[in-house]
Amino acid sequence: MTAQLERKDGPRSKRGVILQAAIDRFGRDGFEHTKWATVADEVGIGQTALYHYFESKAHCLLTIMNLELAASLQRFQDATAGVDDHAKRLRAAVASAYDVTPSEALAARILLSHMDLLSTPRPSEREEAERQQARVLVRAIEDEWSAILEQGMAGGAFARRDPRQSSQAILSLLVGVWRWYRPGGERTLSTISEFMTGACERLVGP
Amino acid sequence: MTAQLERKDGPRSKRGVILQAAIDRFGRDGFEHTKWATVADEVGIGQTALYHYFESKAHCLLTIMNLELAASLQRFQDATAGVDDHAKRLRAAVASAYDVTPSEALAARILLSHMDLLSTPRPSEREEAERQQARVLVRAIEDEWSAILEQGMAGGAFARRDPRQSSQAILSLLVGVWRWYRPGGERTLSTISEFMTGACERLVGP
């Protein structure tokens, strides 16, 4: 996600470091428990300067969610591009979900924990813009999964079932990991990826 | 969950109606968007009386989560008790997850959306007590699932895989539904239950 963190502004912008500090705090201590002033202190920036980038803690959170959704979609597309075999493409898509840095894993956890924020309109214009964009990205990721499943069904590689329901089921399964995954914990990302690849192959099977 | 809502106090207690009003509000408008005073108004109770039951909006939320976890565990145990056949017990357990009233479906959605609250200690004693109890219930539900899977593996009905990882995967799959399910929506609980039963059978299969 480093590329996205540095994307919007010039090299002197503090946006990237603010986002990185916020991901660390929200991911480790929880969004509710993090004081917005702590993030400002950590980055060494005043409240006024902070406001230039994010008008609220929620605005920053929605931005993190958006960036993680965009990164996740990008990983999916990079991993599956040009893979014509249905079963191989499914495996590549699953693997892309766990091909993440520790910071991306934290961002994925933050995203999962606050998905409900996307269902109700935000009071401010900037927050609402982030929310709308996040909703578009969620739908785009679901569409990518549905397309893989539909093509696999049409090609006879996967059993025929409702592709939308199937893609939502696979996404629930894949992202559920971020609830309990901790870097350095008992299960590594590669163990998880292997388990989930098998699980998804069985889910689309006969 | 009606039984649980009326459990703790006598028949004149407002606890049940407060919880019901809060479930409706948190479930439909979101926890963050619901003003605690709105719940008090809706029930026709003053702030002081409300405080007697719940010291904060978060305390009420944690109580709802707890009640839904307890109800979910109870449904699971009722549905699977005395079912000796491994495959039938798995199906009964899946069905129990969707054998819910509209209010329980809302509570399940609230629970899913705020699971991250359970990972960090609460500032107040009463909130922390609810959080600790919720964690015990989450673990108990995971244990029930692990036991079903382990017994099925030992009995040769299910393929051998890490039972803890498998039970977490099944739980992610089952509860993920509450993210998008809406009463009166395109998919009914019985359609969802049928789909998920097949999905879980394939997940534990060879």
Mutant choice from B98, B117, B202, B204 vs A, greatest count of A C-beta within 10 A: B202
User: CA angle, corner B92, sides to A160 and A171, nearest 5?
Assistant: 45
A180 and B199 within 8 Å at the Cβ level: the answer is no
Give me the domains of chain A, ranges plus CATH numbers.
58-203 (1.10.357.10)
**Residue B33: per-residue pLDDT:** 86
pLDDT in tens, chain B (206 residues): 555 555 556 667 899 999 999 999 998 888 988 999 999 999 999 888 898 999 999 999 999 999 999 999 999 999 999 999 999 999 999 999 999 999 999 999 999 999 989 988 998 999 999 999 999 999 999 999 999 999 999 999 999 999 999 999 999 999 999 999 988 888 999 999 999 999 999 999 99
Using one digit for the tens of pLDDT, what is the confidence trace for A86-145? 999 999 999 999 999 999 999 999 999 999 899 889 989 999 999 999 999 999 999 999
Instruction: For residues B76 and B95, give the distance between their C-alpha atoms in angstroms, rounded to a whole number.
Output: 9
Using a CB-CB cut-off of 8 Å, the residues of chain A touching B168 are 176-177, 180
Q: Which of B32, B119, B199 sits opposite A169 (nearest CB)?
A: B199
Using a CB-CB cut-off of 8 Å, the residues of chain A touching B115 are 113, 179
**Residue A5: per-residue pLDDT:** 56
Give residue ranges of A with CB < 8 Å to any B CB. Answer: 29-33, 109, 113-117, 119-120, 161-162, 165, 168-169, 171-173, 175-177, 179-180, 187, 192, 195-196, 198-199, 202-203, 205
* ipTM surpasses 0.95: no
A165 and B187 within 8 Å at the Cβ level: the answer is yes
